[in-house]
Structure formats: C-alpha cells, structure tokens
Amino acid sequence: MENFDFQKEVAKKKRIISTSLKTEKADLVLKGGKYVNLFTREILKGDIAIRDGIICGIGNYEGEKEMDVRGKIIVPGFIDAHIHLESSLVTPYHFARAVISHGTTTLIADPHEIANVMGIDGIQFMLQSSEGLPVDMFFVVPSCVPATSFDENFMKLDAKVIEPLFQHPRILGLGEMMDFVGLSEKRNEILEKIVSSEHHNKLIDGHAPGVSGDLLQAYISAGIYSDHESSTYENALEKLRLGQWVMIREGTAAKNLEALIPLLKEHYVNRLLFATDDKHPNDVLNYGHIDFIVKSAIKRGIDPLIAIQVATLNPALYFGLKKIGAVAPGYHADLLIVDTLENLDIETVIKSGLITYEHMKVVPPHKPVVRKELLEKSTLTIRNADIQIKDLLNSEPLGLIGLVKDQIITKNLGKATAVDLSRDILKIAVVERHHATGHVGIGFIKGYGLQTGAIATSIAHDAHNIIVVGANEKDMVAAVKEIKRIKGGMTIVTNGKPVGSLPLTIGGLMSQLPLEQINDKLEDLKGRAHRLGVSYDVDPFMTLSFMSLSVIPEVRILTQGVFDVLKQKYL
Amino acid sequence: MENFDFQKEVAKKKRIISTSLKTEKADLVLKGGKYVNLFTREILKGDIAIRDGIICGIGNYEGEKEMDVRGKIIVPGFIDAHIHLESSLVTPYHFARAVISHGTTTLIADPHEIANVMGIDGIQFMLQSSEGLPVDMFFVVPSCVPATSFDENFMKLDAKVIEPLFQHPRILGLGEMMDFVGLSEKRNEILEKIVSSEHHNKLIDGHAPGVSGDLLQAYISAGIYSDHESSTYENALEKLRLGQWVMIREGTAAKNLEALIPLLKEHYVNRLLFATDDKHPNDVLNYGHIDFIVKSAIKRGIDPLIAIQVATLNPALYFGLKKIGAVAPGYHADLLIVDTLENLDIETVIKSGLITYEHMKVVPPHKPVVRKELLEKSTLTIRNADIQIKDLLNSEPLGLIGLVKDQIITKNLGKATAVDLSRDILKIAVVERHHATGHVGIGFIKGYGLQTGAIATSIAHDAHNIIVVGANEKDMVAAVKEIKRIKGGMTIVTNGKPVGSLPLTIGGLMSQLPLEQINDKLEDLKGRAHRLGVSYDVDPFMTLSFMSLSVIPEVRILTQGVFDVLKQKYL
C-alpha cells in the first residue's frame, strides 16, 4: 500500500471525482457532440469530460481545453482481436504510428514469428517495445513454437518455459492453438499449455480452419474459447453455437468478412469480434486497419452500431479488459471523432485523453525504451547461417514443389534433377540460421518465374530460416551471404552481386524504419523481382515465405529437404 | 508443473477429449432433449454428454449412465449475483441444501455481516464453510466495515487488511460500495480499497440507491461497475447508460422486479443480472430463490430466454466466470432439467455433472471442513457483552425512535423519559459485545407494540451488537444475559425468564441447523412475540435488527445512545 504508484492512483481517483462533481475542471471536454452508447445501442448527446486520460462525466462539462464537436459523433477506439505484428515488417512503435490515424487504440498480438526466432526473448522484446504506445498492445503467448517437430527454430516453447509469462499484466492468454490434431491426440505438451493458461485464469485463443463435428467439440471442450479461422457462415455458426467467440478475420492474406457478413445480425452479434491476423505494409497504407473492416461491414448494410460494437465492446469483454471498448465514465478516453456513422471518416483520435491524430497528422509517440541486451540479441539471429556452393549441389533427383495460382497450398510435382529455366524449374533451399547446424535443405520449385539470379528472405514461416530461390547456385550463395551481411531481411542478387536489399535486423523479421519507408523499399524490391521474371501471379517475397510452412499441404522445403506435409515426412 | 493437481487437470482434459471424440463413453448423457442456447438465443436439440463434471459434447452421445430427457428442456444453472448469506440464518452448507432444488448452482456473496462480527476471520469462515458445496460460492470483500465511524464493530477492514484477500480465487472483487458520500468526499480509506481491487484486476460492486446526476458520474468514474439498488426504471436506465451492470434485486426486504421489468427487453438485456441481496428463511422456503425471479419475469411476459440469460450467462460474464452460465462444451455441467420454459418447473438439478436434486429430493452434500479455530472463534463473539440494571436506567429524557409502517426508515419523535405502555413507548438498548467496552446505548421506541417482557437479538445491522427492547429493565437485562448464555441469537423474556430462544452461535448471526428447523423455531418465536403484543405490522426480530443501522434516516440506537442519522451525531 505504501508504494508510490498506489498513492498515485488514489490521487488520480480524487482528481477524477472532483471533475465528475464539477468542483475541478476537466483536462479536455469534447463539447456539443453525440456519442455512441453501446450498452443501450443508441446515439446520445452529451459533452464528454476527460481527466487523467479517463472519461469522468458525460453531460454538461467545462474543461481547461474544449473541443467543439458539434455535428460530430464520438465512437470508442477500435480493437484488433488478433494480429501478428511482425507481418507489418515494422516495430510496434511504427505500427502504432501507422494505425492510430485509423482509429486503432488497442490490439492483441500473437508474437508467434519473433518467438520462433528469439524464443522468450522475442516475446520480451515485443512487450518492451510496445510499452506506453498510443495503441495499447496486449499479447497472447504463442502456443505452437515450433509449428511441428520438423521445424528447426530457435527454441521450443513448452509449458514450463511459457508459464511465467502468464503473470504479465499485458499477457492475456495462450495464442491460437493451431495444433488441433495434436490436441485431439491428447498430447501432453499441448494440454499442459492449456491448463497453465487456465490456471492463471487467462484465455486460450483458437485456430481451427474448417474444423467441425466431433473434432470441434473436442477442441472446444478442451478449453479453446475463440476462433478466427471461420471462412464459411455455417462453420462460424457451428462455433458460435458451441460457445466460441468468433473473430471475423479480414487481413492481407485471408479475408472472411464477405462470407461472415450474415452473422452480423441480432442474437449473434454479442460473441463476434474483428481481427486482421496479418497486415502487410501496403495493405495498412492503402486500406487501413480495423476501420476498414467496420466501414466495409457498414457498406454491406450492417447497422453501424453493431459493426462498432464488434470492433470495440465485444473484444474488450472477451479479453476481460474492463475499462475500454465504450464511451462511459471510468473508461479510458480512447475516442474517435467521426463525421457520420455511415462514412465513419475519422477526423480526430484521442488516446487516453490525448489528441494523437488531428488535421490529418499523427502526433509522434515516445519511443519505448527496450533493454539494450534484447535489442542486441534481436540483431544477431542470422549469425549462424552459413552456406557454400557445395551445399546446394545435388547428384540425385530432388522434390519439385508446384506453386498454385492465388493459393497458399502447393502441389507435389514429383522430382527434378536440375534448374531448367525453359520449364520454369528453379532451385530452392532453406538454410538453418539458429544453431549453426549447417543444415541446408534443397529442392526445386515450379511456377515462380525467375529467369536469372536469386532471391532470398529471412522471413520463412514458421521457423524463419533463410529461404532462397535461384536460377543458379552461385547467386543463391551470394544471396544468403547478403542476408547475413544485412543481418536479416530480403535481397535480390544477379551475377553474384546484390541489386537490392531490405534489411530487417530485428530477428530478420522487422525493421526499425517507419512503415512508409519499408513499404517503398519493399515495393521497389518486388518490382525488381518481377522485372527479373518473377510471375505477376505471385508475390515475390510472401510466396517464398510460405514455402517453408510445414503445416500446409502438399509439399514444402525445410532445413533438411523437401517435406511431404500430408505424410509428415521428408521425401 | 510437477505438482499433482496440474497433471490431474491434464489427465482430466484427456478424458474429456476422448469423450468428445466418442472413443470413450461419457459419465452421463442427457438423451433426447432440447437445450437453451444463450449464445444464439435459440432452443436446440441434442444429447448432452458429461465427463468429469464438464460438458464435452452436444449431439449424439452414449454414456455409462443415460437419462431420458425427451420432452424436457435443459437450462443452465442459476446465479445469484449478490446476496448476504447471513440473512438466511444458516451456514453456507444449509443454504446450499435449501436452494439447490431451486436451480441455484452459483452465488456471489458479500459476507458483510460476519465480517463486522469476526473481521477477516469471518470472511475466512465463509470461504472455508462453502468449500466444495453443490452451489459454487464466490465472494466479494465487504467494503464498508464498519458502516460508519460511529459503529462499534469487531474490527475495521481497511485497504491494508483486505488486500491479501484479493488473491483468493473465489474472491471476485470489492463488495457493494455503500459509502457513496464518503467516495464523493474522496476519502482515502475508500479510494484505497477501490484501487486495491483494481490492482488485482478484480471488480467493485456498487450500492447507490437513488444516486443520480453528477454524484452518479463520480461514483462510476471512480470505478464502480455495478449496482443493485435501482428501484425505478429511470434510475436503472441512467446507470445502464453510464456503463454499470444493473442487478435487478428481488429479495426478502427489497423488491425491484416490478419496477424494472421494462428493462428486460432487447438492447438493455446484456448488462442485467438478478440478485436477491437478502433471503430470510421463510422466503426461501415459501418462494424459492433466483428461480422465483425468473418465473416472475416470465409470468410478466418476458421472453423466457431473456430471463434465463439474465440469471445465467450475464452474471458469469460480469464476474469473469468463463466456464459457467451456458450449455456448451467445456462448460461446467451445471444444468437444470425443466418441463417447459413457460412453467420452468425444475425436475432435476445437475451440478458439476452430478445429480443433486431429483424426484423432489436433494442429495445431501458433503459438509465442508472448517478450521477448528475458526469454528471456535465463531461461537465466542458474544462473550464481551455485559449488562446490569443500572446500565439501563435514565434520569434525563432520551431520544424516542418512531417506527414507520412497512418502511425501514424511522421518525425522530423527540424525547421520552420512561416506558409508557399505554402510549406504546418502550425502552430500547444496544449492548456492545465485541470489546468489553461496557458501552450500553439507551433510548425509547414507539410503534413496536410489546406489552410485557423483553425481546433481544444479536443481529443488529451492521455492527451486530446486542439490541434489546423491553417493557421493563429487569426483563431487558435477563434477555441480554440469555443471548449471552446461548452464545448469540434471539430471545423473548417475560417475568425474568426466557420463554423462547433461538441460538445463532456462529457469530451470533447463523445457526448450524438446517433451514427448515431454523424457520420453524423463528416462526414460533415470532408468534410468541406477537402474542406478547408486538404489532402485526412489524417483524419482531427483523425490525429490531434494523434499529441500529446508522445509515438509514432519521434516528437509530447505537452503543452510545440515540443517533441522529441526518446530522450524523448522537442526540
């Protein structure tokens, strides 16, 4: 009771009470507007008084500062219920800078990618680098690191290792339980993680694409509270009826809003949330974030108050965040000032009572201070990757991976012996980068289109080893060496020399540059890749990054060669 | 991770998953019925499979035991969101026995009375004596002990004292914050308790009868999440709009359902709960518990699915109880089998998968083991009360309390000098019983009706000193001595001898006997009291028990005399 923060909180309460009672002025009053009341689903009039970042009254109030919001509508700040921040290629700081203007004031991130690369340190890095930002960032502990026992990642996060994390106030539970097969096989490692999260009275998020019937009953009975992988109305309704909170996902890679729109009606709406899962730089810049989903729903005829509830109060309730998600006394003043509910044009964003976006400009937040040791570790994750030409040579035929247009699945095309540009057969390799095992898996790929040189990236789901594709081994070796030189990232090499590189020094996944700069560099690299022949049907880097994902059929390339996903064994 | 319970939980998950997947049989299957789905607000068909007390599937299932529920409807067990168990005069064990047949499977109790008498030990007693019962009992920490600084209770529960309690898994927050005036005056002691509960991520319940406008904004801004004191539609709606969860209270002393019925409609229902606050023995036996409120709402035309939601899923959501309040996989099998939604005749009650009520019979639960030391302490709380005739004599005129028919308020009738039976003026006294201060407050009361002898009780809100009313000092002294002899309870004395007594040895508030026996004894005593002249307009003991309640206008009797509530000082 004696500690400073406790008394500081008491003093803050006193100021808030004084403001409610009008014996002291508010810091800020939004005067003369209307606001969205989600408890009664109505639009009401009232000045909104803010003190110490908290709403302390709705009615008639005076403030040190007053903002005329006549004709405007006040909406609670938006919440992304599930996102992997790493997909944006920027740090939480720069992600916050980019999405605050879109009205995002809270998000719940699953630091699954960085955890594969840095283990617990990666989660700590995300926690530290998101402290005190104008977007409140909560986390769930990644549940499936590594994704399978075949993935050579940095470290395995078992129940013992993750248990202490559940005590962190910004860790809300266990992240998407992707391994529903392992769960149905009652594997100890999975059940222990679930029990650990439950033991701390925290949540467990789900990930069960197409799972239905008895398997779904088992999955939910085991304690999985939510799902963001429903791509059909029927599957989502089955999950809702069985008690899951359904996250309607609309992100860069996967888009389910269209299919799930009919859910956004009375009797179903209370258990629905919005999530993006993954947002790539150009998608954030071109379309926005949760605001884009809300607007899309409204354009499709959904009641704006329902769309807003799903983006605000519902995720707050699901995650047990008692003071956000609504416009009411005692709630954090995370508020959006919009023109109309139909347009939802966000003119001003107020976070914890401070104006963070106004007149088309974002007020730059303070950068969080990250422990030096964590920042240093984050730049060292490529140091163990090494490769020579002999590692890439083959005498025997190797597996040939066939890309499928517009899809993440691949086809098992049998085997190939050598690069054959006339038939679009390229060599592909994965170079282990975490433990200096010297493992280099090699194979062939068809459908990528590159005509010369090599392309490499250190983003390679889920273990994020270095993946490289090339028309010849020399350029492939040069590309991997370039990735190592730039401490992780993406590169294109022709004639033994890099023609363009994008360093992603944080774990080989993220940059410290702003989103706009990263996007420019990435778009430039993608343009170069296409000019070197990469098919316009594929995203040069994203497609590569999925080639190592050992859970999506039919075949993938891992650190020890081409892998048959359906049989779960190397070819 | 190594401890036994952890692995036990994992093993339990395995059995549940096997049952969901139908590779192992359920313990119990409710076959062929319909059930209430609150997530989608519909009635669906399906067998309900239960293993280890958990629902692990809804569909087609087989079980070791199967119950034919064709033609029946399965409803989740009911939750009382706010009750002072002490008012039932029985222990949690006997309360559970009495209400399980009414479908109550969870309640949230505020052990405010026993805490005034035994302090932290009283709360520990309630926690221990409610372990493992067929009604899950959660608690909130009483926030206002003592009620005012004038109340001489056992101990003051300040923020430091209560802080460790918030770590208990069955303590969900801070109990009803009655002192809204103190809160508006920004008293440290109050704000510290609120901050302490928030710091542990727990709730704060409210109690703000008629509070409105700026004061209500201050109260809610300070962090009070709920209220159970709305007696008008307008006041409840104001609270709902400001974000509070509104508990519709329908108990023995206060009944608000009639006034708040119009709230039970779409757009308001999600933030409503049911609560009883106080349930006296005859009320439980004659009318029931939460089932009575649900049925009353349905009789008044409310959609049964809405009434059930308010009694089940809503309180579970408010209190963050993730696994109760609905019929779904992973949820506790707390289920009621009813005939129709219109009648809601509860035929069978299943708690954690076990049949606890069937064929009009309750399966007696195991008695919780209470620490011997706590049980002993609970019987010793009257030991400090002492009194002699001289303590009751007065030479000066003393305050005269006027009872008001059918109301808890009193009138300040000026002063009186002596008992005058012809004018229904009796002597009244409060004898301090916690700290041997020897304090005896004396005064006069009009409107009670007693014609001879004395009546005393150790239930005297909120400090629960001994209150005694009499036609003469000699019988009053004898009555107090009898209360001391029986270690707390109620008694009637004529001609210096007890003519009937009801021992309440647990803190002078509760008995260890079953509810039916207590009710018989109490009704017998009440009959005797009336035959001695006590007006049929007053409840002989309940009316007395409120005469010491220092927060209700206009005048009360405390340990140091007649007290002017409005002026907050002794006459």
Output the pLDDT for position A4: 47
**Percentage of chain B exceeding pLDDT 90:** 94
Q: Are A447 and A522 in contact (CB under 8 A)?
A: no
Cα separation, A441 vs A394, in Å, equals: 11
Asked if pLDDT for residue A2 goes beyond 60, the answer is no
8 Å CB contact of B217 and A20 = yes
A268 CB neighbours in chain B (<8 A) are: 40
- Token couple for A306: 């329902």
B224 CB neighbours in chain A (<8 A) are: 330
Quickly count: other Cβ atoms within 10 Å of residue B554's Cβ. 17
Output the pLDDT for position B168: 96
Of all residues in chain B, the one with the smallest CA distance to A203 is B322
8 Å CB contact of B320 and A56 = no
Output the pLDDT for position A253: 86
Give the tens place of pLDDT for each residue, A67-77. Answer: 999 999 999 99
Q: Are B400 and B425 in contact (CB under 8 A)?
A: yes
Pick from B17, B192, B317: which is nearest to A10 by CB? B192
Give the tens place of pLDDT for each residue, A105-151. Answer: 999 999 999 999 999 999 999 999 999 999 999 999 999 999 989 99
Mean pLDDT of B459-484: 97
Helix (H) or strand (E) holding B10: helix B4-20
Give the tens place of pLDDT for each residue, B124-153. Answer: 999 999 999 999 999 999 999 999 899 999
8 Å CB contact of B220 and A328 = yes
Chain B interface, best mutation among A8, A17, A245, A266, by max B CB count within 10 A:
A17
8 Å CB contact of A169 and B198 = no
DSSP string, A336-378: EEES-TTT--EEEEEETTEEEEETTEEPPPPPP---HHHHHHH
Asked if pLDDT for residue A407 goes beyond 90, the answer is no
Cα separation, B13 vs B199, in Å, equals: 32
Pick from A20, A214, A221: which is nearest to B330 by CB? A221
Give the tens place of pLDDT for each residue, A461-470. Answer: 999 999 999 9
Whether B45 contacts chain A with CB within 8 A: no
Q: Is the peptide bond before B462 cis (omega within 30 degrees of 0)?
A: yes
Give the tens place of pLDDT for each residue, B521-535. Answer: 999 999 999 999 999
- Mean pLDDT, rounded, of chain B: 96
Asked if pLDDT for residue A60 goes beyond 80, the answer is yes
Q: What is the CA radius of gyration of chain B?
A: 25
β-partners of residue B401 are: B412, B445
Output the pLDDT for position A381: 86
Chain A interface, best mutation among B8, B9, B13, by max A CB count within 10 A:
B13
Output the pLDDT for position B288: 98
8 Å CB contact of A17 and B183 = yes
DSSP string, A220-240: HHTT--EES---SHHHHHHHH
A41 CB neighbours in chain B (<8 A) are: 267
Cα separation, A469 vs A451, in Å, equals: 11
Mean pLDDT of A425-429: 98
Whether B215 contacts chain A with CB within 8 A: yes
8 Å CB contact of B16 and A270 = no
Q: How confident is the model at residue B427 (pLDDT cuts 50, 70, 90)?
A: very high
- Mean pLDDT, rounded, of chain A: 96
Mean pLDDT of B490-500: 98
Q: Order of strands, edge to edge, in the sheet holding A272-275?
A: A226-227, A245-249, A272-275
Output the pLDDT for position B265: 86
Give the tens place of pLDDT for each residue, B307-358. Answer: 999 999 999 999 999 999 999 999 999 999 999 999 999 999 999 999 999 9
- Burial zone of B64 (CB within 10 Å; 0-12 exposed, 13-18 middle, 19+ buried): exposed
Cα separation, B50 vs B28, in Å, equals: 5
Give the tens place of pLDDT for each residue, B45-104. Answer: 999 999 999 999 999 999 999 999 999 999 999 999 999 999 999 999 999 999 999 999
Cα separation, B34 vs B44, in Å, equals: 5
For residue B278, which phi and psi values (nearest 5 degrees)? -140, 135
Angle formed by the axes of helices B213-221 and B233-241, to 10°? 40
8 Å CB contact of B218 and A17 = yes
Mean pLDDT of A441-469: 97
Asked if pLDDT for residue A3 goes beyond 80, the answer is no
The amino acid that residue A421 corresponds to is L
Q: Are B67 and B28 in contact (CB under 8 A)?
A: yes
Output the pLDDT for position B4: 47
The amino acid that residue A546 corresponds to is F
Mean pLDDT of A177-183: 95
Whether A194 contacts chain B with CB within 8 A: yes
Of all residues in chain B, the one with the smallest CA distance to A329 is B221
Q: How confident is the model at residue A380 (pLDDT cuts 50, 70, 90)?
A: confident
Output the pLDDT for position A154: 96
Q: Are A335 and A350 in contact (CB under 8 A)?
A: yes
B268 CB neighbours in chain A (<8 A) are: 40
